[in-house]
Structure 1
Amino acid sequence: MKKIVLACGSGIATSTAVAQKVSSLLNDNGYDGKYEIVQCAISEAKETCADADLLVATTVAPDGLECPYVSGVPFLTGVGRPAAEQEILSIMAR
């Protein structure tokens, strides 16, 4: 089971919107039931990512992360979304 951390400024608003889109992406690509999503504020990301497989954040990632980072902004704007989706799918395939 992969642990995906979704972070935004507060851990509520934009991370929820991105979480729905990431879940749809993963489910549509055969990962249903193979991941868990944990939402948090970006200030909690470093600690929350200690045992995570991926951080998707709508803000700048903190220094010293222990897991890969993918920007969540493309899931909000649509700009660069295919590349962000491919990064997530590549990490899931590991």
Structure 2
Amino acid sequence: MKTIIVACGSGVATSTAVVAKITDLLDSHGFNGEYQLQQCSIAEAVAKSKTADLLIATTAKPQGIECPFISGIPFLTGIGKAGVEQQILDFMAK
């Protein structure tokens, strides 16, 4: 089971949208039951990264992150979304 943290400024608005998109992506590619998504604010992300397998954030990468990081901004803008989706799928396939 891989733990994926999804962070945004407040841990509520945009992270909720991104969690839904990541869930759809992973489930449609056969990863249902192989991951756990957790939402948080970017302020909480550094502490949570100590036990997470991956951090996806809709903000700039904060200093001190201890797990791999993927920008979630393409889920909001649509620009580069396919590339980010592939990074997530590659991560899950490891």
What is the TM-score normalised by the length of structure 1? 0.97
Distance, in Å, in 1 between the alignment partners of 2:67 and 2:74 is 19
Please list the CA deviations of residues 12-56 of structure 1 after superposition, one character each: whole Å capped at 9, or x if unmatched: 000000000000000011100110000000000010111111101
2:65 maps to 1:65: yes
Q: CA deviation at 1:66?
A: 1.1
Distance, in Å, in 1 between the alignment partners of 2:14 and 2:77 is 11
Q: Report the counterpart of residue 52 of structure 1 in structure 2.
A: 52
Q: Report the counterpart of residue 85 of structure 1 in structure 2.
A: 85
* Two-structure CA RMSD over aligned residues (Å): 0.6
Identity in percent: 54
**Aligned length, in residue pairs:** 94
Structure 2's unaligned 5+ residue stretches are none
What is the TM-score normalised by the length of structure 2? 0.97
Structure 1's consecutive aligned runs of 4 or more residues displaced over 2 angstroms after TM superposition are none
